[in-house]
Amino acid sequence: MDSVYNPFEKYGVRRLINAATCMTMLGGSISPPEVFRAMEDASKAFVRITELQHWAGKILAEVTGAEGGLPTAGAGNGIMLAAAACIMRGTELEKHDPLRLETWTSLTQRLPLRTEGLKTGFVVQKSNRNVYDHNVECAGGRFIEVGTPDGTSEKELHDAFEPAKVCAYYFTVRPSYKGLPLETVIKVAHGHGVPVIVDAASELPPKENLRRYISRGADLVIFSGGKFIAGPNNSGILVGKRELIKLAHLQAYPFHGIGRAAKLSRETIVGLITALRIYLAQDFEALYKAWERKAKWIAGQLGGISGLEVGLTCMSTVEERTPMVPLCYLKFDEKVLGINGRELANRLREGDPSIEAPYEPSFLLEDYKQKMTINPEYLLEGDERIVVNKIKEILRLVKLREG
């Protein structure tokens, strides 16, 4: 693809160069052409949505080693449906089947407000909180925090499980490095008869993580379909125990529970599964080497600028620290350069094309204060040259102004 081409120009909208990562606000990722061909093919006829969901769910379960699966409208919707399933565990809703033409709306529409008599407590470590937790509250859940921002003891975790209140434990992988590990959480939660939800939306690659959390005993696991899997941006994956997946499905569209507003078209469901199959067949080692070459080229082009420290690092998995994506980082001496990283990031965003190269990126585990990162993963052909030239141009203009 020619990086100069802007398919949004006809609408009067700037193209964006993604030097960050696959983020919803940037449009997710770019799906392979085969995904769009499969989606177009699915658009040519009608289907009973519940049967298509069931077909996709079986594939998702097989890929992840789970008992059941459900395609969702992004990972956020997956979290909400997982929370709803745990709240409704042990209720009359368990008697219904999403493949049968029955009516259970009066049960599902108790959420999120009419929760009298239901367990709505979700235990979470304070160090494990994040902005996506709100999806649990949207389902009618409420959080029971344990520990401090720096960690939690196993005793504190045990003491949080009040039998009359707690319906699940909620665990997010990315910010979990300060708290108790997943194995400990699962042991304690299961000891109290409580299921564990794992938000692993951003934990790909490596592709082995698709099976990692189910194999460790998690009851429900959520992945994004529109990030590294490169499915449609509004797609997600929910997998886990069969009965919990059924309860989540009963709350989802095409029915009338809390998931009704988060529809997935038949085209999106087929696109997600197509993208997943392509993702599983990818040679990740070859992809990583190609990204690494680009990151090294960028570092080489920006190295030697007085006041600018340039180096290579990588985004890694939380527990095993397995390399996910190689990155080039920049650290600024404001006294020498006349500009700091935040100002540079803002100027890159303001340009045309707009460039997103995050300053102090929150999705990295290490300390990246006063650092900008350039991720080569989603740079289109020639984008790396535009990024390098724009950074040099901004620094040169600042020098001229200061001079």
Helix (H) / strand (E) element for 209: namely helix 209-215
Same domain? 216 vs 303: no
Q: How far is CA 101 from CA 50, 72, 104, 110, in A?
A: 10, 21, 10, 20
CATH of the domain at 122: 3.40.640.10
pLDDT value at residue 378 = 96
Sheet holding 166-172, edge to edge: 68-72, 236-240, 220-224, 196-199, 166-172, 121-125, 142-146
Domain closes at, from 281, 314, 340? 281
In terms of Cα–Cα distance, which of 236, 188, 282 is closest to 22? Answer: 236
d(CA 195, CA 135): 17
Instruction: Determine the structural domain holding residue 83 and report its residue range.
Output: 33-281
- For residue range 21-56, list pLDDT tens digits in order: 999 999 999 999 999 999 999 999 999 999 999 999
Helix (H) / strand (E) element for 290: namely helix 284-302
Q: Is 246 exposed, middle or buried (0-12, 13-18, 19+ CB in 10 A)?
A: buried
pLDDT value at residue 364 = 73
* pLDDT (tens place) for every residue of the chain, 403 residues total: 445 789 999 999 999 999 999 999 999 999 999 999 999 999 999 999 999 999 999 999 999 999 999 999 999 999 999 999 999 999 999 999 999 878 899 999 999 999 999 999 999 999 999 999 999 999 999 999 999 999 999 999 999 999 999 999 999 998 878 899 999 999 999 999 999 999 999 999 999 999 999 999 999 999 999 999 999 999 999 999 999 999 999 999 999 999 999 999 999 999 999 999 999 999 999 999 999 999 999 999 999 999 999 999 988 887 777 888 999 999 999 999 999 999 999 999 999 999 999 998 877 766 667 899 999 999 999 999 999 999 999 999 987 776 5
Same domain? 198 vs 314: no
Q: What is the model's pTM? A: 0.95
Answer whether residue 70 is part of any domain.
Answer: yes
Which amino acid is it at 376?
P
Same domain? 263 vs 365: no
In terms of C-beta distances under 8 Å and separation of at least 24 residues, what long-range contacts does 319-322 make, across chains too? Answer: 319/177, 319/181, 319/182, 322/206
Structural domain count of the chain? 2
Same domain? 136 vs 151: yes
CATH of the domain at 394: 3.90.1150.180
Same domain? 277 vs 287: no
Domain closes at, from 238, 255, 281? 281
Answer whether residue 327 is part of any domain.
Answer: yes
Same domain? 318 vs 219: no
d(CA 225, CA 28): 9
Task: Give strand ranges (E) for 130-226.
Answer: 142-146, 166-172, 196-199, 220-224
